[in-house]
Structure 1
């Protein structure tokens, strides 16, 4: 189980990641201005305003990885209509261990970090 504070610690441990958890509990992390992980906002009904879903985050990933995660661990990972064709998976923080989340964040970093940042941190 990972809480928002531990999520923040894991994300900010990656090179040049910025962001954090806001006062309302909404979080967001980026590297080089590109989103790595962010709060999940869902609609309760079509065309309704999106609202924060506590304890759920979206993490950038390759579509192939997303499909594997959804099939292998539906208790931890899911998607919705908004994210269905988008390269990010929704993660239930209450169901994931810190080391698994750290691995997902590291993969997300590799996907979105601009080349100059990746060159400065080749060990990631």
Structure 2
């Protein structure tokens, strides 16, 4: 299963990606636009999910739209989920300790492609 080191390695291997702290937790961005981030659950999130405490690390990931978010959740609800805070927002949460590294790499790369400038994304895709 994936770790924060896997997230860091995958994200920072993508062109022009940087890491910074946002609200005290790591966020990875391409040219200043965030695409994946550590997203600890708040009390209101825990209440909405009906759980007492967070179980394992949570990664926030940008997705293309609500349809993609719903499809990921429907396909693997043990890994992907959302909270009311993200209603109407193109992002999904994933349980990092329940996702394999190859799938994590795919999800992080897709998120990067969404936020990277068009020419940078095209150049990356042409090389891979």
Normalising to structure 1: TM-score of the pair?
A: 0.82
Q: Could you give the per-residue CA deviations for residues 62-95 of structure 1, whole angstroms, max 9, x where no partner exists? A: 2222111110100000000111211011010010
Q: Which runs of 4+ in 1 moved over 4 A?
A: none
Segments of structure 2 that go 5 or more residues without pairing to the other structure are 46-53
Choose the corresponding residue for 1:69, options 69, 72, 75.
Answer: 72
Segments of structure 1 that go 5 or more residues without pairing to the other structure are 47-51
Choose the corresponding residue for 2:90, options 75, 87, 103.
Answer: 87
Indicate the RMSD between aligned Cα atoms, in angstroms. 2.4
- The answer to whether the 8 A contact 2:38-2:58 is kept is yes
Match of 2:42 in 1: 43
- The answer to whether the 8 A contact 1:2-1:93 is kept is yes
Q: Which has the higher strand share?
A: 1
Q: Which has the higher helix share?
A: 2
